[in-house]
Structure 1
Amino acid sequence: MTTAAPSRSSAPALASGGAIGNAMDPLLRLLPGLLISGALAAFAMALGRIGWLQDHGFSALTLAIVLGMLVGNTVYPRVASMSGAGVNFSKQNLLRLGVVLYGLRLTVQDIGHVGLAGVATDALVLGSTFALACVIGIRWLGMDRKTAMLIGAGSSICGAAAVMAAEPVVKARAEQVTVAVATVVVFGTIAIFLYPLLFELNRQWQLVPGGTDGFGIYVGSTIHEVAQVVAAARSVGPHAADTAVIAKMVRVMMLAPFLIMLSAWLARDDARRTVRMTSVPVANEHTARLEAPIKPKLAVPWFAFAFVGVVLFNSLNLLPPSVVAVTTEVDTILLAMAMAALGLATHISSIRKAGIKPLLLALILFTWLVVGGALINRWVFALIG
């Protein structure tokens, strides 16, 4: 008995069906992890709309990583094998897209609202805080470089969003990112309650000049998260809140050049370390380097350039406000999914291994932001006005 061969006309159809099936396979592999990350992100965003949580500076991003860790250390291991691809996609690809679209929250005009003094203050606070993180964390506390840099990025720029954006550049592990985000949550929450008290003290001492607006710049230039800035500044007054948010947005705009410079510095530092490791001893007790030239590998954060492009485009006011609002909401979803995926991939045991040093470093940086940030604000105001 013979079986009829498929007709020539059916062969293209079979080939087309196979091609479609091959194209769908990667999507099907990503789907379970994307659904889990999306569900946690949606729940976190719903919780983030609760008034009490908003008043205390708990954003959807912070809640997403907490929910992700709760699920990741309980029921998620049972389905990790089938959903791991989608979770990794959320943690990496959706994160980069979320950082790019974050630019729709900013405009170049924001710089004009705080003036040269506000920009200079933000730059000095950012640079000094990150430098302290590297010196104290790596050299004094003996921490691993990646964790210290992530804590420095979160403290000096914009909290969890900066930590997540710096992760691809420093090539950190999930638990290192989570430790850094945890420090932002702890000390950013403390700042919400501390800064209104500092405002009352500043009325008497006048350490931070400029009245309510000046204190708003101080808040925006020194508190970690955008949500925490809003919560702390609202307790001071509406004018302080407006100025604080603008100062914070200018600080967020510095994320892109920071990532580019960090990538270049890491590439140069890695090249120097490689040169030392490849040196060989010779008879006269000097060292001779291998002949092969060692070129630094620069991990260019292309999404940082895209972020700048979106900020510049948004500054032209070409998009209707409704489109910007919807896109910003989508961006929050993407970032929340990335944070939830990060929580899913984090094990509590890994955080325990990090010990007390990350919290100690974050405490030192927080103290610098409060005290040193006030001195920087005072010095810049006296110099520039």
Structure 2
Amino acid sequence: MIAATTCLNTARSALPGLAATALLAALGVCVWQLSNRSAMVSPMVVALMLGLLLGNAGLPTHRLAPGTALALRPVLRCGIVLLGFRLTFDDLAGLGFGGAALIVALVVVSFVVIRRAGALLGVSPALSELIAAGTSICGASAVLGMNTVTRGRDEEVAYAIACVTVFGTLSMLIYPLAQPLLHLSANAYGLWSGATIHEVAQAVGAGWALGETSGELATIAKLGRVLLLAPMILGLGLVKGKTEAQPARLAVPWFVFGFLGAIALNTAIALPPELISALTMASTFMLAMALGAMGLDARLSALKSEGWRPFLLGACGWIFISVAGLAAITLLGLWQ
């Protein structure tokens, strides 16, 4: 009886915060839908921005804290698990050995280089890791996933997402304009877009801007990077766990195995397209709830105090992965 009463009280206390984050997510999805699902508009970023506005408007948001805490943990993790239904292990097969090797190398090298650059610039380790993850893997989703082991502050998460959104959008706009000067083949351009642009929508938008061939390869290459999210989170979690004062408490995010299981199921069984679409939308909605919760909890004064160095780090990471990817594709003659 006591346990049931406790659960009921917990649910009641969490309801306002969950309702608020769900409303922010719904508004983000509506804005995205009204833009015809434009790659320029992310429902997650819209939810984050609205949450920041409300959270810093002087409203009594302390009552929302129990619900936002749930949105930032179980809801976020469920969203990442459902993200796995966008992928199959067969996606990498379309890249060939050279393309797959290039993507793995770019993700690992970019992550390490950006983390190191962050240390040189004096950026906090947590924020450096979040910017590195968002740049090298898959934008906001990677920032959220990596933060389950990085455990950065809400302001650091918001800053990292702002960085990858700005520079990913620049890539989406610049890449098609640069193509006539670079004289890449449609396949090479698609591989470059998918292997280096931050967000999935941004990479797909840049690829399809130049036609079906480049668009399809950009999509496959980008999804291949998303597939690397799980091993990167697990690897960093194990490294962090081994360096803690109590090594037995490894910082392994076990929900990542759910993400891998979703990919395996989607590979083994031909799920109906309608179901995949519904699961993908559910994932987007849950991730938008988590970002809305971060916006409600974050304070713009703390965000501003991070200064210009993290933004410079995001710019350096953007330039590095773009140039390194282009150089590798050109020098190795991939998909020419």
Contact 2:155 2:299 in 1 (8 A): yes
Alignment partner, residue 114 of structure 1: 95
Asked which structure has the greater CA Rg, the reply is 1
Tell me, yes or no, if structure 1 residue 181 matches structure 2 residue 161.
yes
What pairs with 1:1-385 in structure 2 (closer than 5 Å)?
20-51=4-35, 54-74=37-57, 77-78=59-60, 80-138=61-119, 140-203=120-183, 206=184, 211-268=185-242, 270-271=243-244, 295=247, 297-381=249-333
Cα deviation 1:88-124 (Å, max 9, x = unaligned): 1101211111001100000111111112122111111
| Worse-matched range after superposition: 194-203 or 39-48 | 194-203
Paired amino acid for 1:218: W
Tell me how far 1:193 sits from its aligned partner: 1.1
Contact 2:18 2:71 in 1 (8 A): yes
Tell me how far 1:252 sits from its aligned partner: 0.1
Cα deviation 1:175-200 (Å, max 9, x = unaligned): 11111001011111111111011211
Tell me how far 1:55 sits from its aligned partner: 3.8
Contact 1:47 1:60 in 2 (8 A): yes
Gap regions ≥5 residues in structure 1: 1-14, 275-293
Paired amino acid for 1:125: L
C-alpha separation in 1, matches of 2:331 and 2:293: 42
Tell me how far 1:20 sits from its aligned partner: 4.5
C-alpha separation in 2, matches of 1:266 and 1:214: 37
C-alpha separation in 1, matches of 2:43 and 2:213: 25
Change (3 A) 1:19 1:267: closer
Contact 1:38 1:337 in 2 (8 A): yes
Tell me how far 1:353 sits from its aligned partner: 0.7
Contact 1:37 1:337 in 2 (8 A): yes
Tell me how far 1:366 sits from its aligned partner: 0.7
Contact 2:32 2:38 in 1 (8 A): no
Tell me how far 1:253 sits from its aligned partner: 0.3
C-alpha separation in 2, matches of 1:264 and 1:332: 27
C-alpha separation in 2, matches of 1:297 and 1:144: 23
Structure 1's consecutive aligned runs of 4 or more residues displaced over 6 angstroms after TM superposition are: none
Contact 1:124 1:376 in 2 (8 A): no
TM-score, L = length of structure 1: 0.83
CA RMSD of aligned residues (A): 1.8
Contact 1:40 1:67 in 2 (8 A): yes
Paired amino acid for 1:85: P
Tell me how far 1:19 sits from its aligned partner: 5.8
C-alpha separation in 2, matches of 1:24 and 1:327: 29
C-alpha separation in 1, matches of 2:3 and 2:189: 61
C-alpha separation in 1, matches of 2:333 and 2:249: 41
Cα deviation 1:293-330 (Å, max 9, x = unaligned): x6364201111111111100111125322222222221
Tell me how far 1:256 sits from its aligned partner: 0.4
C-alpha separation in 1, matches of 2:3 and 2:304: 47
| Worse-matched range after superposition: 153-162 or 66-75 | 66-75
Contact 2:35 2:41 in 1 (8 A): no
Question: What secondary structure is seen at the aligned counterpart in 1 of 2:225?
Answer: helix
Aligned length: 336
Tell me how far 1:355 sits from its aligned partner: 0.3
Tell me how far 1:141 sits from its aligned partner: 0.7
Paired amino acid for 2:318: F
Change (3 A) 1:304 1:20: closer
Change (3 A) 1:265 1:23: closer
Alignment partner, residue 7 of structure 1: none
C-alpha separation in 2, matches of 1:92 and 1:113: 34
C-alpha separation in 1, matches of 2:317 and 2:331: 19
Contact 2:179 2:189 in 1 (8 A): yes
C-alpha separation in 2, matches of 1:265 and 1:25: 38
Question: What secondary structure is seen at the aligned counterpart in 2 of 1:159?
Answer: helix
